Structure 1
Amino acid sequence: MGDDNVVSRLGSLKALLGIVAGAGASYGVYKLVFSRAGDVNTKKSAKNLIVQPGSLMAKVMLLSLLQSSPNPEERRNVLVTLGNAAAFTVNQDLLREFGGLHIIAGFLSDPSPEIRVQTLNALNNLSMNICNQEQLKIYLPSVMQMIETSPVNSDLQLAALRLLTNLSVTDNHQHLMKNSITLLLSLLIVSNDIQVLKVLVNLSSNPDLMDDIVQAQVNKHVFYGLAA
């Protein structure tokens, strides 16, 4: 790869990290990008480049950086930046169009709990977009497994529940959560977080799931709490 390509790549990354839709990029990722620049002259040239704010290429490059980085802390910083950017509708659409949803969701199986938390946080923002939910629904089994196996009220479990809340807002994918109703009702007993209740309220709005909720074999006090 020639020097011009290196400079262009670094300049695009700088644009995204600094100004992508007002996301407030991580200084740690900024340092990461330029620590890989090579010699001092290349770094200086990259920093002096004028790059169009919100560059499409910058978003693609950040996704590429996420895939290629072998360092967990680097991946975490990139996920935080992408999660912040995903709070904006325009970026939710662009990340979907670039295949970013599946790239980000690929880190749901990362061995680092912190990486999984930041992945869930990014997907949570992305899931506020109805079109994105169509792609994210295939990851529901992984999300439910994390809810079931994570320590109660842990950051990982709560992040998974927040994502599940967004994915259960409409009845488009609620049927995919049918087999997890007993788990959610059981979790309601032992967890002190309101997020579980939010998911159950969303599911209870679906007439097709009411029988499953009522017939679930869980302590009767759960039902009294839901009815209150």
Structure 2
Amino acid sequence: MGDSGSITPRIGSMKTLLGIVAGAGVSYGIYKLLSGGSFRRYKKSGGNEGLASKTSEGKSRSDSLLAKVSELDLVFSRNERTDDASGNIIHQSVSNLEPQHLNMLLTCLKASNSTSERCRLLLTLGNAAAFTVNQNIIREYEGIPIIGGFLSDPAPEVKVQTLNALSNLCMNLQNQEQLKVYVPQVLQLIEMSPMNSDLQLAALRMLTNLSVTDKHQHLLKDAVTLLLHLLLVSDVTLQVQTLKVLVNMSSNPDMMDDIVQAQAPASVMLLFAAQTSSEVLMRLLTFTGNLKSWRPSAQVAEELRRNRDCLFRVMLDESSELHGRLVQLLSHPDKEIQAQVAHILT
């Protein structure tokens, strides 16, 4: 696959390289986005969860994308973290991996029978995939189906590392064309995995990255009900990640018909309370603001009212509790939350 020499004599050196790279405690995330893999920018300021304001015209396209995904959680090695807010946290050895090294990693991954070795290989490939140039190389070496195949691995830790690698590979539009086929499997993992597990979180991170632009959001239209129920039973970390996906989807007007028709638990209204984490509440309000910006015709609204359990009835209809709960939040101690509520109510 791009390297004509035999791989056997280099296995020893490959394992040495792997030990150095994977053992360095490097972290997942966006270190640098080169122009070749940059996404186009949304036209509206609410185009992506966590984007506080419109990106200035003076910023580069890569800066624009970084602003869009600035709140996507970086996945750190359990052995090491960094406080470098600039995101310059990728170990030099990973950034300097050459195409033949990535090819060797993929070859070793295909041949590996060890859970721990698979995790280390996937960890290293995921770290390398934080760079646009490596995202392209991995795709060109047909590495995406190799990595994606490990979503079916019986070991949960292998699935987690697989999802982390796929999440970074998602930050490339050409890669997304191959990665979209895994959406049903990723949604199944969210539904079937233990609640608040690393596996659920990693799966939601991948969907967040995949939904940064509107190109493949339609693949998630049947998952809205699942995501809304997840909000009610998960911890704060998972709630935040779930809302990132919902905010991304609701920022796309073309998705709104599917979102408002989704079955929604009435108890979602309980989240609009002072007791809810501010981090969760801010994203919930962003989601709500996106929903409120949708203006159905009288005929469409009347049809939606006939479905008592749909999101429209729960959050947008005149009979909804939402207005009263928003008024109560005007006295929330967090000034940002107050401002967001006031904006929705105007």
| Partners of 1:141 and 1:118 in 2: CA distance | 18
Equivalent position of 1:168 in the other structure: 211
Equivalent pair of 2:7/2:104 in contact (CA under 8 Å): no
Q: Deviations over 1:27-61 (max 9, x none)?
A: 49xxxxxxxxxxxxxxxxxxxxxxxx633222111
The alpha-carbon deviation at position 129 of structure 1 amounts to 1.2
> 204, 207, 226: which is aligned to 2:253?
207
Question: Match for 1:103: what amino acid?
Answer: I
**Residue correspondence of structure 1 range 144-183 to structure 2 within 5 A:** 144-183=187-226
> 192, 201, 222: which is aligned to 2:268?
222
Over 3 Å counting, the alpha-carbon distance change for 1:14 and 1:75 in structure 2 is closer
Matched, 1:26 2:22: yes
Higher Rg: 2
Equivalent pair of 1:16/1:59 in contact (CA under 8 Å): no
The alpha-carbon deviation at position 186 of structure 1 amounts to 1.1
Question: Match for 2:181: what amino acid?
Answer: I
Gaps (5+ residues) in structure 1? 19-23, 29-52
| Partners of 1:197 and 1:151 in 2: CA distance | 19
Over 3 Å counting, the alpha-carbon distance change for 1:102 and 1:6 in structure 2 is closer
The alpha-carbon deviation at position 9 of structure 1 amounts to 5.2
| Partners of 1:5 and 1:151 in 2: CA distance | 39
The alpha-carbon deviation at position 15 of structure 1 amounts to 8.2
Identity of aligned residues (%): 58
Equivalent pair of 1:62/1:78 in contact (CA under 8 Å): yes
Question: Match for 1:197: what amino acid?
Answer: L
SS in 2 for 1:151: coil
Matched, 1:83 2:129: no
| Partners of 2:265 and 2:11 in 1: CA distance | 57
| Partners of 2:199 and 2:7 in 1: CA distance | 39
| Partners of 1:65 and 1:152 in 2: CA distance | 32
Gaps (5+ residues) in structure 2? 1-5, 25-95, 273-283, 289-340, 342-346
Equivalent pair of 1:86/1:126 in contact (CA under 8 Å): yes
Question: Match for 1:104: what amino acid?
Answer: I
TM-score (norm 2): 0.53
Equivalent position of 1:116 in the other structure: 159
TM-score (norm 1): 0.78
| Partners of 1:93 and 1:7 in 2: CA distance | 26
> 94, 99, 102: which is aligned to 2:142?
99
Q: Deviations over 1:78-117 (max 9, x none)?
A: 1111111111111111001000111000000000000000
Aligned CA RMSD, in angstroms, stands at 2.2
Equivalent position of 1:40 in the other structure: none
Equivalent pair of 2:125/2:165 in contact (CA under 8 Å): yes
| Partners of 1:106 and 1:6 in 2: CA distance | 23
Equivalent pair of 2:163/2:203 in contact (CA under 8 Å): yes
Over 3 Å counting, the alpha-carbon distance change for 1:57 and 1:209 in structure 2 is same
Matched, 1:70 2:113: yes
**Residue correspondence of structure 1 range 41-56 to structure 2 within 5 A:** 54-56=97-99
The alpha-carbon deviation at position 131 of structure 1 amounts to 1.2
Equivalent pair of 2:97/2:128 in contact (CA under 8 Å): no
Equivalent pair of 1:16/1:62 in contact (CA under 8 Å): no
Q: Deviations over 1:157-191 (max 9, x none)?
A: 00000000011111111111111111111111212
Over 3 Å counting, the alpha-carbon distance change for 1:197 and 1:108 in structure 2 is same
| Partners of 1:157 and 1:74 in 2: CA distance | 22
Question: Match for 1:129: what amino acid?
Answer: N
Equivalent pair of 1:124/1:162 in contact (CA under 8 Å): yes
Question: Match for 2:223: what amino acid?
Answer: S
Aligned residue pair count: 195
Task: Kindly indicate which of the two structures has a greater share of residues assigned to helix.
Answer: 1
